[in-house]
Amino acid sequence: MTDNKKLISWVNEIQELCQPDNIHWCDGSDLEYNSMITAAVEKGIAIPLNPEKRPGCYLFRSHPSDVARVEKRTFISSKNKSDAGPTNNWIDPTELKKTMSTLYSGCMHGRTMYVIPFSMGPVGSPLSKIGVEITDSPYVVINMRIMTRIGTKVLDVLGSEGEFVPCLHSVGYPLSPGQFDPEWPCAPMEQKYISHFTDERLIWSYGSGYGGNALLGKKCFALRIASVQARDEGWMAEHMLILKITSPEGVSKYITGAFPSACGKTNLAMLVPTIPGWKVETVGDDIAWMRFGKDGRLYAINPEAGFFGVAPGTSYQSNPNAMACVEKNTIFTNVALTDDDDVWWEGIGYEAPDHLIDWKGNDWYKATSTEPAAHPNSRFTTPASQCPVISPDWIAEDGVPISAILIGGRRPSTIPLVNESFSWNHGVFLGSIMGSEITAATISDQIGKVRRDPFAMLPFMGYHIGDYFSHWLDIGKKTSVDKLPRIYNVNWFRKNPEGKFIWPGYGENSRILKWVFERIDGKAEAIKTPIGNLPTVDSLDLGGLNVSKSEIADILSVDKDKWIKEAEDIGNYYQIFEDKLPIELANELDSLKKRLVE
């Protein structure tokens, strides 16, 4: 097991508090995984899929109240409220621990308490971190085995004195003797808590069994807690994909990218280039941990071992590599079930059959049903090693050197197709203002406004937004300018007056990656504009692309009037930083305003 006294003491403490019937230390073996899957099938929790179509695949259905991250019930519980900042929900840690300890008391009656030692990043890598999740959910154990490296090998690296992040989770549904256990136990919404005690590097989650609320290595550790560790230790924990791009000459570069949801992040990470001779490989699809190497460059690892992807909209057109990933050994959650025990979801690329069993377990008919067959946030959990274009470097212990950082939201106007920042500080400024335009909202006066999501981290910063950007700016001072990644703002979502997307996206985005690649090498032309360096139309590889040069010129244009309004909106948005707006960002905004009127 382990001789780590801190871990043994903590496990004993939680056992006494939660009072499970049994304790199981997870060893991470195939035997353990298969036995847990078998038990889940026997209990009716998991549905085995057609072994000829999807070998090793299973379908789970959550409770309708437990289908996504619950941001309103997610808390940053620092000692000082000012450390959490205006963008996080804060509760005093003493008060929160008292409330949650009452909920945890006896919460695992009738259940097994699983102890999951896990490594975020390759086991033993100097860039990795260890966590231990205690949970009473077999679903969590099954998914954590795919998403992280778990088990005995992690305990071996932890040793007797190693540090770890304690992660406590319970579905919040104790069982009395003989009490019926539902297929998806969870607590009412008002009892759900996803809490981060950042001063102690401690995570407590109660009441939800779904996704980032329960797989505590995901957003809770890898971003919220890790972002605080990164600030204190001089590295970066970011909500970013990592890809490797190789030219026809065999030269490779590594690029990270921060994109809010519905902006093509996973598709870009697994992109199939449309331009001859270029190759893209996947290092990570969601999270990047970056540290400085001995050469002064930033090196990134993907701390995860799997993909926890949104199913709806994933198809052989949008992401053929993701579709190949989920052909075997995959856990599906809240997708629809076909009559021959396969899966289906909206946007899968082919029509629904006449009949399905929907994500709630009810009959669904193409002719008459009005609700989606799959939940819009339905998911697949699949091993990263199954990705056809996974890079061998995805498990590099020292990480991969980053040459560029892409950022981008969903903007139908104003933001050009691609824009290179003037400097590191200017790139941080662009990251601070990124976001997506609201196209549908309950409150009609919100439509057309920009929802800012800086570096796609708004729900995941573990501390004050102003301090977060100060840390980004500090990173830029730790090495020479030529060794920092260049920062590029991209926008695949510009529309024409008829409301149709101008840029085709998907594999055609490789043309933008090529321009970025060539800019880094000093081989591609750009025009200096008030907002940054933009490609000339001729510097983009447009061969075989069914988009006119006039349309390309349009999505590479800078409308000064729109940008003057944008600058005004940025000034209003910056008020949320309170008194912690870094002076560098204020200066960048002032400089932008001056350039726009020159």
Distance, CA of 589 to CA of 596 (rounded, Å): 11
Distance, CA of 264 to CA of 273 (rounded, Å): 14
Write the CB contacts of 104 (distance below 8 Å, at least 6 apart in sequence). Answer: 17, 18, 168, 170, 204, 206
Write the CB contacts of 143 (distance below 8 Å, at least 6 apart in sequence). Answer: 215, 308, 331, 381
331-333 and 336-337 beta bridge pairing:
unpaired
Tell the burial category of 504 from Cβ atoms under 10 Å away from its Cβ (0-12, 13-18, 19+).
Answer: middle
Distance, CA of 327 to CA of 524 (rounded, Å): 40
- Cβ-contact 299, 289 below 8 angstroms: no
- Cβ-contact 154, 122 below 8 angstroms: no
Distance, CA of 450 to CA of 88 (rounded, Å): 19
Could you tell me which of 473, 491, 348, 494 has the C-alpha nearest to residue 423? 473
DSSP string, 387-456: -TTB-GGGG-TT-EEEEEEEE----SSSS-SEEE-SSHHHHHHHHHH-EEE--S-SSGGGTT-EEE-GGG
Q: What separation in angstroms does the CA of 53 have from each of 82, 342, 349, 358, 588?
A: 53, 7, 17, 19, 54
Q: What separation in angstroms does the CA of 2 have from each of 9, 76, 136, 191, 559?
A: 11, 31, 20, 33, 62
SS3 306: strand
Could you tell me which of 196, 130, 122, 121 has the C-alpha nearest to residue 158? 130
Per DSSP, 222 falls in state I
- Cβ-contact 175, 21 below 8 angstroms: no
Q: What is the torsional sign of CA 472, 474, 479, 481?
A: positive
SS3 109: coil
SS3 253: strand
Return the HEC string of 495-512.
Answer: ECCCCCECCCCHHHHHHH
SS3 596: helix
Distance, CA of 409 to CA of 420 (rounded, Å): 15
Q: E strands, 28-184, where?
A: 46-48, 58-60, 74-76, 112-120, 129-135, 149-150, 165-170
298-301 and 400-407 beta bridge pairing:
antiparallel
Indicate which residues carry an active-site annotation: 263
* Residue owning tokens 């699949």: 382
